[in-house]
Structure 1
């Protein structure tokens, strides 16, 4: 590339950055859904471009496609359509060495509704000017773009994640935070912030795909798809990743176990401390130091997460679920639910 071409491309990217910033003010804050949905014969549907970066994790691709295909089959109509897109080559090598054939090159895609960038963690790539410009233009025109797995590093390098929250795999979160201080990297399964979706990858990709099913078809359809996959637990965007190689602090871990055994009839922090054989101050200090919260706030979060899981997976009524999670009244339950999740319990049925 000549110097003049390089400078022209840089100028175009600067214009794209300004345009995306203006667009975020106008419509970004209102984009809370995972997918941009279109109406097809009076029914919701979604078109998704899956962009494969060499070295992507094959599991992420198969998890998305299997669930999209299974949903179409179970619902007996076309809800999800997709294109598998390569950056430059039609044959894209996955992390395990298997080569996957794309159906399009990125240069052939003029616009899209939803685009997910699939990338691995092991082989970071240099900046791709065409990809960056393409993603910025899609975001500016109202598309939802996103990343699964290692793609978060690419979007951060492109400065697309600045002042946004982003889910990232727990093993890389400290490294990413050190390198990109203007990005709010979180230990969550998936996130959506101002039209950008992020997923930690691995088993979390299945949770992301099931959440897409819930958005388009409802909780019951999501449960039917999960049943076909023998998936009994469905995590959501507020759930943390399970990190078995880095156990929690012994005091907070033991306290959390006691809390989860007493969801229906919550204990006071003082009662929990007595059961653990420690004083209340030591319990409170451990939660402040290791969980950055209080025992009461942590307990409330656990109860609300249990309630949200039950709302999405159990046929029980909202009042029954509220009682099962330790709330004496529906109004108290609804108030705390709205404060944590930004919606009423009925919205998650």
Structure 2
């Protein structure tokens, strides 16, 4: 068995907790993530949806925070004026106008629409989208921004997602354009979504294609964790919202999360959920990628990291609150998985 001390911190965590804690690990960036930042331009149509734009922007900002470097360089753009009026009646200054926009093959252009947009010919935007498509720019349409991607002929070979109130107009104006009934649609270099509830999924899909699935999963852990399950609950772990996960596994995880300060033996957890020790080991290895004991340890260390960042508890008190027999044992375990001692977290806050 591989000794944990010989592994790098980023690989010491199991996949789930690696995504949860990625922003706090000492990690070696992959060659993919070492590329220069991609330019992401948010073209704000008049009466654009502020909430939808904010989520799309937040996905890119969070990607930068998770890796402590710029994966994306964001800017905003208006059509003819360096400002745009949102659906909330708030005018947002932009970084420039469409005529001055410079894009290359690594750029992303996001056309941000909204419920109150008046859709119609915008020759400047059509020309810019055609030019961008020829240069290999990634194009996105959110809410009814997809209308303009279709008007420019940049999504002829794929179904697009658009708000339901715009579907009749799309059929009238672009009868050959295939419309998706899904909340968002993705194809090579093209991403569209129907509104604020699907924009995060669209952005995660794009980021996964550009930066890798681990990056997208880490972003979802940060800004997508509060999405409710089928029962209307916000699960603390994405595993708890997975409909394919066995109930015994979910019950075991919930027991672990409710018993952080006084960890339960794995045998007792298995007994409480009505399975054997061997069965619980199999469940965790198959669905989580680690043993139950390892998952429990990472769960406790993740909570310790949260307490170190968000409270004024001493390191000794944090170690007790997270079920460690001594602060020395806690500090050693924390360093093994995060790559730095808990004292560094406190120094970083000062």
Q: TM-score, normalised by structure 1?
A: 0.52
**Structure 2 residue aligned with 1:46:** 38
Once the two structures are overlaid, the 10-residue window that deviates more, 114-123 or 48-57, is 114-123
Q: Residue 110 of structure 2 corresponds to which residue in structure 1?
A: 116
Q: CA deviation at 1:50?
A: 0.8
C-alpha spacing 1:160/1:83, structure 2 compared with 1 (3 Å): same
- Offset from partner CA, 1:75-128 (integer Å, 9 cap, x none): 111111111011111121011111111011111113242111111233324312
Q: How does 1:1-349 map to 2 (within 5 A)?
A: 42-43=34-35, 45-112=37-104, 113-231=107-225, 315-316=288-289
Cα distance, 1:135–1:73 mapped onto 2, change above 3 Å: same
> Relative to total residues, which structure has the larger strand share, 1 or 2?
1
Change (3 A) 1:134 1:199: same
Q: Name the Cα RMSD after superposition.
A: 3.2
Contact 2:56 2:203 (C-alpha < 8 Å) held by counterparts: yes
* SS in structure 2 at match of 1:116: strand
- 2-side partners of 1:187 and 1:234: how far apart? 22
Distance 1:215 1:158, change over 3 A: closer
Distance in 1 between the 2:95 and 2:123 partners?
22
Q: Go from structure 1 to structure 2 and tell me whether the alpha carbon gap of 1:220 and 1:232 turns closer, same or farther (over 3 Å shift).
A: farther
Q: List gaps (5 residues or longer) in structure 1.
A: 1-38, 236-241, 243-259, 265-313, 318-349
Cα distance between partner residues in 1 of 2:137 and 2:90 = 30
Q: What secondary structure does 2:192 align onto?
A: strand
Deviations 1:259-292 (A, max 9, x none): x98998xxxxxxxxxxxxxxxxxxxxxxxxxxxx
**SS of aligned partner of 2:182:** coil
SS of residue paired to 1:177 = helix
Larger radius of gyration: 2
Structure 2, gaps ≥5 residues long: 1-30, 231-241, 247-286, 291-350
Q: Distance in 2 between matches of 1:78 and 1:262?
A: 35
Secondary structure, in 3 states, of the residue corresponding to 1:48? strand
Give the superposition deviation at 1:146.
Answer: 2.1
| Distance of 1:62 and 1:198 partners within structure 2 | 16
* Contact persistence 1:44–1:216 (CA under 8 A): no
> Quick check: 151-160 or 204-213, which moved more?
151-160
Contact kept, 8 Å, 1:145 with 1:196, in 2: the verdict is yes
**Which residue of 2 is the match for residue 246 of structure 1?**
none
Task: Return the alpha-carbon distance in structure 2 between the equivalents of residues 195 and 224 of structure 1.
Answer: 22
Segments ≥4 residues shifted beyond 4 Å: 232-235, 260-264
Contact 1:51 1:117 in 2 (8 A): yes
Question: How does the TM-score come out when normalised to structure 2?
Answer: 0.52
Q: Deviations over 1:152-180 (max 9, x none)?
A: 22333344433431112344435533542
Contact 2:133–2:154 (8 Å) recurs in 1? no
